[in-house]
Amino acid sequence: MSRRLVVAATVTALSLTVVPAYAASQGATPAHGTPAATPTRFTATPSATKQGTKPSAPTSSAPTTPKPTTPPPPPAPYTPPKDSGDAVAATAARITTSSHFAVKADPAGKQAMDATWPDAGTLFTAAELSQILPGVTAVQARDCAGSPVTGGRASAHSTRCTLVLSMKGEPHDNQSRLMVSIRGFGVPATVGQAWAKSAVQQRERSADRPGLYTFYRNGSLGATAAYTDGTTTRVLLQGSGVAGEIWFSGIGFAHVRPSYLASRQDYRQRIVPALVQLLGAKMQPAA
């Protein structure tokens, strides 16, 4: 065999024993019958595919500005049934309010949004009540509780409270109290439907209890509608796209006039309309 043939054979044998670069870097030896791994090759892309050809301009990736959308109009307000012939056009003295509440409602009616509801414990302040009852010096909220709302959770604020009034001339063990109940706020049509149903029932009851009920004319006293049975007063309030009910009951109020009968009459004829008007003044349209 010639020397040139020997050299060629040696080179061929050596090339068959070279390990691929990827497998060598991992320190792994391929199993018998398994092909050895080969490194991945990456090819750089030239700026132009052919000599003399200009590269294409890059595509802009700047985000597009969305078109502004007009918010949907608020739900239409609720219109209560027409006044009956015995509806009273009551008036009351104006009261300087200590605070206001601007309630919001979900237009779809799926969320309670009760975080914007007023808190029953602070609904009436001593500064406000003293304008109706000059003897009031303090208001203490007791026995406050929340109510279940949408989603099985409790309301964010107290919806029921007993407001105990410290009032000059009343014995400490027989203080007058206001039982406050925030019945709920929401879309006007839904709240109005419940209001109308309850009002019909109360109308029927008033026929059997003449002289106890007073139905105020719609829109009077700053409320959409309101009526009282002499003890419990129901008030329907509305703002922009929202409506709600607040109830209050007066217990005691037996010493605001010289006699018990005169005191209770004063509560029904003067104090209740003033409290209704106070609620109407504290309710503001939602922002």
The whole-number pLDDT of residue 61 equals 63
Q: What is the mean pLDDT of each run of 10 residues along the chain (287 residues)?
A: 46 40 36 43 45 56 68 83 90 90 86 90 96 95 92 90 95 93 94 94 90 93 94 94 96 93 93 96 71
Tell whether pTM > 0.85. no
The whole-number pLDDT of residue 74 equals 76
Tokens 């104006």 belong to residue: 94
Burial class (CB in 10 A: 0-12, 13-18, 19+), 229: middle
* Residue positions counted in the chain: 287
